[in-house]
C-alpha cells in the first residue's frame, strides 16, 4: 500500500484504477497481477486481502474491480462469487454485512452491492440468458430503506448503523451504495428505482471507479492525448 507497508488486494485496485484512468496501463506493469488476485478467491466464493484469507466485502470489491479493469474477470469463479455476495444482504435489515455471521454496516452498501453491477456485466458478456434487463441481483429497495431509514445522522452525514457516529468514510460509501441501488444499467437500458420521493434520487456512480461516469470519460479522454510513458530513463 506504501513503501514498506502491507501488501493486499486493495493496492492492486488502486494501481489499476490510477493506471487505467491516466493511460499508463501496460501489460508489463500488471504482469501476474490478475492471477494473484484470482488466488484471493477462496472456498466461500468471496475474496480475502491476500490468498488464503477469509472472504471480506471490501477486499472482494477491490479484487473484482481490479480484474474488470484488467479485463480478466473470467479468472474468477463468478458463480460462487455471486452466491457469496447475494448471501451477504441481511434479510431483516436490508443492508449488507461484510462477512458471514457479522453485523450489517452501511459502508458495505457500496462494497458488497457494488459487486452486482460488475458481476452483471461479466455474466452478460458470457451471454447468460437469465440476466434481468431491469434490476441488479439484489433487493435494491430494501438496501435503500436501510440507508435512508437507519444510516442518516440527524445532524447531517451518514453512518454504519444506528448508534454509531457519523464520519466521512461512511457518508461516502452509504451514498455510493444508494446511487448503485437506485440506478440499473446506463444509456438505453437505464432503469431508475427510487424509494420515497423523487428528490431522493442521486446521480449515478461509475461501478468500477465510484466517481461520476462523466468524470471517468473526461479523464480517459484527457490522458489518451498523451503517449504512454516508458520505464526507460529519458
Cβ atoms of residues 19 and 29 within 8 Å: yes
139 given a catalytic annotation = no
Q: Residue 132 — left, alpha, or beta (φ > 0 → left; ψ -120 to 50 → alpha)?
A: beta
Q: Is 207 in the site for other proteins (CB under 8 A)?
A: no
The catalytic position among 59, 108, 146, 173 is 108
71 given a catalytic annotation = no
Nearer to other proteins, 8 or 177 (CB): 8
Task: Tell which one of 21, 38, 62, 174 touches other proteins (CB under 8 A).
Answer: 38
Query: How far, in whole angstroms, is CA 44 from its chain's centroid?
Result: 18
The catalytic position among 167, 172, 201, 209 is 167
Nearer to other proteins, 44 or 160 (CB): 44
User: Which residue stretch of 43-51, 110-118, 157-165, 216-224 sits at the interface with other proteins (rule: CB under 8 A)?
Assistant: 43-51
* Separation between Cα atoms, residue 2 and residue 75, nearest integer Å: 27
Helices marked H in 87-200 — which ranges?
Answer: 108-111, 115-125, 140-150, 168-182
CB of 48: closest distance to other proteins in angstroms? 8
56 given a catalytic annotation = yes
Task: Name residues contacting other proteins, limited to 85-104 (CB under 8 A).
Answer: 99-102
Nearer to other proteins, 10 or 135 (CB): 10
* Separation between Cα atoms, residue 5 and residue 149, nearest integer Å: 38
Burial 163-184 (b: 16+ CB within 10 A, else e): eeebeeebbebbbbbbbbbbbb
Q: Is 49 in the site for other proteins (CB under 8 A)?
A: yes
Residues paired with residue 158 on neighbouring β-strands, in sequence order: 152
Location of C-alpha cell 455510493: 176
Strand, coil or helix: 140 = helix
Location of C-alpha cell 435503500: 144
Task: Name residues contacting other proteins, limited to 54-73 (CB under 8 A).
Answer: 54, 56
62 given a catalytic annotation = no
* Separation between Cα atoms, residue 96 and residue 43, nearest integer Å: 20
CB of 9: closest distance to other proteins in angstroms? 12
User: Which residue stretch of 19-27, 75-83, 112-120, 223-231 sits at the interface with other proteins (rule: CB under 8 A)?
Assistant: 75-83
Return residues touching other proteins (CB under 8 A). 4-6, 35, 38-45, 48-54, 56, 75, 77, 79-80, 99-102
Amino acid at each position: 500500500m506504501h513503501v514498506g507497508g502491507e501488501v493486499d488486494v486493495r493496492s492492486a485496485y488502486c494501481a489499476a484504477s490510477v493506471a487505467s484512468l491516466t493511460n499508463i496501463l501496460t501489460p508489463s506493469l500488471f504482469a501476474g497481477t490478475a492471477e494473484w488476485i484470482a488466488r484471493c478467491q477462496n472456498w466461500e466464493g468471496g475474496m480475502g486481502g491476500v490468498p488464503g484469507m477469509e472472504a471480506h466485502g471490501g477486499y472482494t470489491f477491490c479484487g473484482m474491480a481490479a480484474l474488470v479493469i484488467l479485463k480478466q474477470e473470467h479468472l474468477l469463479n463468478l458463480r460462487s462469487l455471486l452466491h457469496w455476495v447475494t448471501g451477504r444482504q441481511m434479510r431483516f435489515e436490508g443492508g449488507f454485512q461484510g462477512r458471514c455471521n457479522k453485523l450489517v454496516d452501511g459502508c458495505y452498501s457500496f462494497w458488497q452491492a457494488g459487486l452486482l453491477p460488475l458481476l452483471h456485466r461479466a455474466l452478460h458478456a458470457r451471454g447468460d440468458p437469465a440476466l434481468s434487463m431491469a434490476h441488479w441481483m439484489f433487493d435494491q429497495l430494501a438496501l435503500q430503506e436501510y440507508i435512508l431509514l437507519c444510516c442518516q445522522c440527524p445532524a447531517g452525514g451518514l453512518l454504519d448503523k444506528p448508534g454509531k457516529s457519523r464520519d466521512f468514510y461512511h457518508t461516502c460509501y452509504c451514498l455510493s451504495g444508494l446511487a448503485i441501488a437506485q440506478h440499473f444499467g446506463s444509456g438505453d437500458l437505464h432503469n431508475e428505482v427510487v424509494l420515497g420521493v423523487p428528490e431522493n434520487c442521486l446521480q449515478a456512480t461509475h461501478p468500477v471507479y465510484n466517481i461520476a461516469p462523466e468524470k471517468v470519460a473526461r479523464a480517459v479522454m484527457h490522458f489518451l492525448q498523451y503517449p504512454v510513458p516508458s520505464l526507460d530513463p529519458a
